[in-house]
Amino acid sequence: MKKLNVTLAILVAAVMAGNAQTVTSDIVGYQSTTILPGLNAVGISLLNADTIKGSASGATSTSVQISGQTNIGSLLTADESYYIEVYSGVSKGDRFDVDVPATIASASSNIVIKVSSPNNTSLFTSSVIASSDIVALRKHITIEQVKNSLVSGSGSWVGNNSSSSADQIQILDPIAQSFTIYYLRADGTTWRGNLTGTAPQNKAPIAPGKGVLINKKGSQMNLSIVGSVRNNDFAMPYYAGLDLKAPPIPKGFSPASLGATAANGWTGNNSVASADQIQILNSATQAFTTYNLRTDGITWRGNLTSTTPQTAVDIINSDSAYLVTRRNSNLDGVLTNPLPQN
């Protein structure tokens, strides 16, 4: 059974020098997920804490400057991966990967952007971020972080120098239309990838909104991931073909709440093979349920739900990944966050 618990924002009232002050914290929570033997479609909807969050003072074609900062590079760890998320302005909801070595070398108020990263949600240019736009910088969730979220006494990860006998975390590249399969080595610590040679991949990022497939070789285990809750809209580009998505906030989603309609660029057809699809994995049965958009461009049906509309049903769990098959790309999609924003 999967569940996600969220501790809502805490309001603390204090009286100081006769004045009442209200202090608010970020929304934080933990995601508890049971991983069964076989394939598991897992979505991580929580965030690592912000390294910094502040106002931009300008941007170039490869970097953004943050007001009040003198050496952002000193805040970074060289072997970690980071990204920025834009919280206001024309690019609100967009995310861009950080060139960590270049940012450390800059030793300035500049965050250098990895402009060619496939995780970027739009093309980075000097006009993407304007002065006074709010930008957050934070670490990516990594494969190592997921591994270390194992609940003590709840099972174990299986390592093996043969990838087919080891536990795997699989990440889909929707542009290349291929999976990178990361597997745990026999030492129980090191991760390698089938496309990355012998270099350790412990710090490989799991970008926001990307789901993973965990292929569990041994008995079940429980994971518990702690993090902050996003309070921002979320850029959600879709590429033609197959993609593995995850909820950006800890709530269930229906096709309707995803905005999955013809008006938003989705393709409907009464033939499942010709329609855009959402596929949900049942880890217990190792079978997918396929939902498709109908010709009317609004109604969704499932192959296991007969003619009953599934349009407003939360078919996507808050901590589950889901496969999307698109006939056409739509790189400008933005999911409006229903939670309070700041």
Q: Which domains does the chain have, with CATH numbers?
A: 3-46+142-227 (no CATH), 49-139 (2.40.10), 232-335 (no CATH)
* Burial readout 40-62 (b: 16 or more C-beta within 10 A, e: otherwise): bbbbbbbbbeebebbebbbbeeb
Looking at residue 139, its pLDDT comes to: 98
Residues 233 and 254: their CA atoms lie apart, in Å, by 17
CA quadruple 183, 39, 203, 176: dihedral sign: positive
Q: What is the pLDDT of residue 340?
A: 74
Looking at residue 27, what is its pLDDT?
A: 80
As averages over each run of 10 residues, the pLDDT of the chain (342 residues) reads: 33 31 61 97 97 97 98 98 97 98 98 97 96 98 98 97 98 95 98 96 98 97 96 96 97 96 97 97 97 98 93 97 97 89 72
Residues 6+ apart with CB under 8 A from 204: 81, 142, 143, 171, 180, 182, 191, 193, 196
pLDDT on residue 25: 52
